[in-house]
Amino acid sequence: MTSQPVPNLASLYPELGAEGTLQIVLQKAVHQAGYQLDVLPEAAPGWKRSGARADSGTRTTSAHLGIQDRCFVMNFWGRGVLMAKGTTTSLNEAATATGVWQSGANLEDLRSACPFVHYGPLAAAHERGTAVETMWTIYRQTAAAHVDHDLIEAAYAQPQLRVLFPFHSHRSLHFSRCTGFPYTHDVPAIIPVAGKYCVKWKSRSPHGPADIGEAYNPRDAVALVVAHLPPESGPAVVGTADDLDRSDSI
């Protein structure tokens, strides 16, 4: 197998020069746009030249360079949720979007200032504080083949689970005590297998990985999950599992 040639980034991004990095040029452009914030190099070693990010602790903007065509690929995160994304060929637009988002703008204002940015209804629900209800609605209405609708309805019928944030991984159904990633791992997951429903602790749970039991219908599987909820289980909170760990320690 022949290796792919390393793209000549300087030809697509003359701002970089021969040795420059996205972090250096984006930092300069952000300051020129009037925003006093730090732009950091991307943490992953392979993105040292072509990746950069700004991070406030609760908000992160990441930028990466396209390698086939000129484009700045932008992702806008808030409290563990990918809230918006977009691509632009303009370094100045990338700098403005970074500054606007990191300055605390809401989604509508971000898109108004930077029309290349797009976001979906789930991101808007996260901003409104209705992410849990919206995620349940999406799963209850979806036609996706990997979603077991009988299982979703059985879980939704339980008040203790209806207030948690649901998410799928392949065909398995998981529940989180927070709405952002990384999610919590202390609520059992349900995995449909060969006509049965396996209820398990996840690999990073305090108990696992470990099997809890099997059920032959969604209702009994859900009952096993409810019986093994952690004592602190309650309505899912905004933020990540790391945020919950810090609040629990305090």
Mark residue 12 as left, alpha or beta (left: phi above 0; alpha: psi -120 to 50; beta: remaining): alpha
Q: Where residue 54 falls among pLDDT bands split at 50, 70, 90? A: very high
Measured torsion, CA atoms of residues 9, 13, 18, 20, in degrees rounded to the nearest 10 = -100
Q: What is the pLDDT of residues 91-130, one digit of tens each?
A: 999 999 999 999 999 999 999 999 999 999 999 999 999 9
pTM for this prediction: 0.90
How far is 234 from 176, CA to CA, in rounded Å? Answer: 10
For 82-108, letters b (16+ CB in 10 Å) and e give: bbbbbbbeebebbbbbbbbbbeebebe
Encoded tokens for 146: 């990997």
Residues 146-191 pLDDT 10s = 899 999 999 999 999 999 999 998 889 999 999 999 999 999 999 9
The token pair at 46 is: 């392979």
Over 60: is that where the pLDDT of 249 sits? no
Calpha distance 114→112 (Å, rounded): 6
Domain spans of the chain, in order of start: 9-119, 129-249
DSSP letter (8 states) at residue 7: P
